[in-house]
Amino acid sequence: MRTRLFGFRFVEVAVVMAMSAALVPTGASANGDPGCETTGGVSAPSITHALVLFGGPGSDWYTYKSANHTFGGGTPGINGLAINGNAGFPNYSTSFDAQGATNYIIGGYTGVRPTANNGSWYEFDFPYTQQEWIEYAAALADAAEADPAAYSNVRVYRPNGGTVTITNDGPDYPSPPNQPLHVVVGEGTVFTTQGQNDKTDGAIIAPEAKVDVDKQISHVDGFVVAAQFIESYAGPNLNNTGLQVHGQSPDAFVDVPGECVSTTTTTTTTTPTTTTTTTPTT
């Protein structure tokens, strides 16, 4: 519509103006908190054996070599041994209560294989995956180093192909809430607690490393997950040292929660407005 007034005409012009942007959270909860995606979480792997060995990358023929005569008894459901490789046993008879567990040696062995009372032996289908334990050890170590207060019973070691010695193991015979969990990331050799009769009371997770029991320590109270387990203190003839692996599971053996990452979507809205432009008439 045109209107003449004092020699001018008014032209109605619609102009799109006032661009406005709003951040709209996706997955927002009812109270307005932003949603998030959980990334990086790692569950604690399942374990049913007191000793789990994946085999070492080196030239050592033995994955397991020890005079140990006890596998389990510390935590119900964690008994026996699973060896993905060759084993060296003493040249005398030993036995242990397997409490119904199937025990594994995926390889050969020397010496006299222990009698698994209330259990059995199997030579195929190793029930554990090394990569799963490698990823868990790395995630738990990172979490414990980032927040020591939240993982007060986790001890972290990074041998980088060298050697480390278990420290800060705590008092003998700890209860699961107070029991250390020694986590070893990467390859190398882990020596157990030093000193005669100084027991190793924590559990050990070292899926790429060799655990070397080089002193008379009586027992490892927790379970052991490693590439190799060698009791060098027993000597080449594997003399009886009284070693036992009790297989107790500490409360520090927990899932590693993922990081909650907020996700947002940028939504652009436009608001149409009308302005009046005055132009001179001709």
pLDDT in tens, 95-117: 999 999 999 999 999 999 999 99
AA identity, residue 16:
V
pLDDT value of residue 173: 82
Supply the DSSP symbol for 235: T
- Split at pLDDT 50, 70, 90, the class of 37 is low
More confident residue, 269 or 255: 255
Going from the C-alpha of 23 to that of each of 28, 29, 237, 259, the distances in angstroms are 12, 15, 72, 22
More confident residue, 200 or 280: 200
Q: Average of pLDDT values for 107-131?
A: 95
Weakest mean pLDDT among 28-32, 81-85, 100-104, 262-266: 28-32
Q: Is 237 helix (H, G, I), strand (E, B) or coil?
A: coil
Q: Average of pLDDT values for 242-268?
A: 82
pLDDT value of residue 55: 94
Round to whole Å and give the CA distance between 122 and 47: 17
pLDDT value of residue 18: 38
Q: Average of pLDDT values for 47-72?
A: 90
- Split at pLDDT 50, 70, 90, the class of 193 is confident
pLDDT value of residue 12: 40
Which single residue is written with the structure tokens 């935590």? 75
pLDDT value of residue 91: 94
Helices (H) and strands (E) in the chain, counts: 1, 22
* List of residues 6+ apart from 128 with CB closer than 8 A: 45, 47, 52, 54, 82, 84
pLDDT value of residue 277: 44
Q: Average of pLDDT values for 41-56?
A: 95
pLDDT value of residue 198: 76
pTM: 0.79
More confident residue, 242 or 278: 242
pLDDT value of residue 171: 78
Q: Average of pLDDT values for 228-252?
A: 93
pLDDT value of residue 148: 97
Q: Average of pLDDT values for 271-278?
A: 48
* List of residues 6+ apart from 238 with CB closer than 8 A: 65, 66, 67, 88, 89, 90, 91, 111, 231
Weakest mean pLDDT among 1-5, 143-147, 149-153: 1-5
Weakest mean pLDDT among 40-44, 95-99, 113-117, 262-266: 262-266
